Amino acid sequence: MIGGGVIGLFCAYHLKRAGADVVLIDKSDFGSGCSFANGGWVCPSIATPLPAPGLATASLRGLLRSDSPFYIKPSAVPHLGRWLWEFRGHCNADSYTRGVAALAELSRGTPKQYAQLGSDGVDFEYDRRGTLLAFSDARSLEREHRDLMTLGAFGLGPIDALDETGLRKDQPGLAGDLIGGLIIRDEVHVRPDTLCRGLATRIEADGVEVLPGLEVSGFEVERGTIVAATGPGIEITADAFVVATGAEASFLTTQLGMPLPVQAGKGYSITIEGPAATVSRPTHVSTAKMGFTPFAGAHRLLGTMELSGINRRLDPRRIEALERAGRRALPGCLDGATRSDWVGMRPVTPDGLPVIGALATCVNGFVATGHQMLGVTLAPSTGSVIAQLVLEGRVEKEVSAFSPTRF
């Protein structure tokens, strides 16, 4: 198992529970990458593909502004050209509708899977207050409510519709011209760093060999079968190999003859520890195109999507834009005892769907990446799917939409 973010940890967890002997490798500490300081939302209600109808016709000038919620760095455009062209091709209603259905099926029952983790002895911060979507115009609220109701077949709900009075009562700290909201009651949230630590501790106690600080940079392959994963000072043999290294996954799958169009959709967050103005449940504010997550003794501002290639550079202009949006939506949200700013590389594919499955180029190679902003939401199901594919060669869910061979 290569990659120790939330996806890799859940893959290792499910493989071990299914009886496999597992070795988990990560080039740094487990959960220290994109999984570390994201929103922690377990939110099937907003599990949608990133390429959406109308996005392709958005003003290019707006997308190239450094303070835009969805930002394409101009210097990265030549490198991203083919990826952006394919992304544009998926910004239509048919592709979006198919993607929503596929993600809804994959995320079905996820909140219950997180509840089960506690029973299995995984120690992490977990809360069942649901998710709030707040809106500034009635048409957007009504459209979202209608779309959410169609997901009832996948087990989503119940949904409470709030008028302006109800919204202000539920979250009195919110400001701006909000006119109502929707609460999805069954959704939960976690503090992702505690989740990753808890999973790493649990699987190690169960007998998974965990190897942080080791980087896999290549493979030994004989007649279409991976014999070993190799890197500086390491050579690890196994019957099967799973690549779950997020936005950098294509570096390894390319060496196995299967490059993947995975780019880094960089997300930013600001974490405030100590007393400050906050919300009582995960809240997405449509006007600001950002969200807030409450934790025990802390809260987190999150938002933005930046396409600038695979890099970990933190652009202070993006943080400043997040600050401005946060102050408008929740005055006082940046006041607190301590603060930390973060950027993470969310792995994004041109169709906005994860890549989960067997590699066509080798009989014992598998991949799990491309989960964009939905890693925490989709990780339990992804781990279960990978375990079934590796050990049984089949899977209970319909996962053809996520096949690595679709590109």
> What are the structural domains of the chain?
1-53+92-126+188-262+349-407 (3.50.50.60)
pLDDT of res. 60 = 59
In this model, does residue 334 exceed pLDDT 80? yes
The mean pLDDT value for 220-224 works out to: 96
Element (H or E) spanning 104, and its range?
A: helix 93-107
The helix-helix angle for 110-119 and 375-392 (nearest 10°) equals: 80
In this model, does residue 283 exceed pLDDT 60? yes
Contact at 8 Å (CB) between 406 and 36?
no
> Which pLDDT band holds residue 288 (cuts at 50, 70, 90)?
confident
> What's the chain's average pLDDT?
94
The mean pLDDT value for 105-133 works out to: 93
Q: What string of H, E and C letters represents the secondary structure of the chain?
A: CECCCHHHHHHHHHHHHCCCCCEEEECCCCCCCCCCCCCCEECHHHCCCCCCCCHHHCCHHHHCCCCCCEEECHHHHHHHHHHHHHHHHCCCHHHHHHHHHHHHHHHCCHHHHHHHHHHCCCCCCEECCCEEEEECCHHHHHHHHHHHHHHHHHCCCCEEEEEHHHHHHHCCCCCCCCCEEEEECCCEEECHHHHHHHHHHHHHHCCCEEEECCCCCEEEEECCEEEEEEECCEEEECCCEEECCHHHHHHHHHHCCCCCCCEEEEEEEEEEECCCCCCCCCEEECCCCEEEEEECCEEEEEEEEEECCCCCCCCHHHHHHHHHHHHHHCCCCCCCCEEEEEEEEEEECCCCCCEEEECCCCCCEEEEECCHHHHHHHHHHHHHHHHHHHHHCCCCCCCHHHCHHHC
pLDDT of res. 230 = 97
pLDDT of res. 261 = 97
pLDDT of res. 287 = 86
pLDDT of res. 61 = 64
Distance CA 277, CA 299 (A): 9
pLDDT in tens, 162-179: 999 999 999 999 999 999
pLDDT of res. 31 = 85
pLDDT in tens, 28-74: 988 888 899 999 999 998 899 999 888 776 655 667 888 888 888 98
Q: What is the pTM of this model?
A: 0.96
The set of residues, in sequence order, having a beta carbon less than 8 Å from that of 152 and lying 6+ positions away, is: none
pLDDT of res. 59 = 53
pLDDT of res. 67 = 81
> Which pLDDT band holds residue 294 (cuts at 50, 70, 90)?
very high
pLDDT of res. 5 = 96
The mean pLDDT value for 169-193 works out to: 95
Q: Which two tokens stand for residue 270?
A: 């600001």
Half-sphere exposure of 238 (CA within 13 A, CB side): 23
In this model, does residue 154 exceed pLDDT 90? no
pLDDT of res. 58 = 64
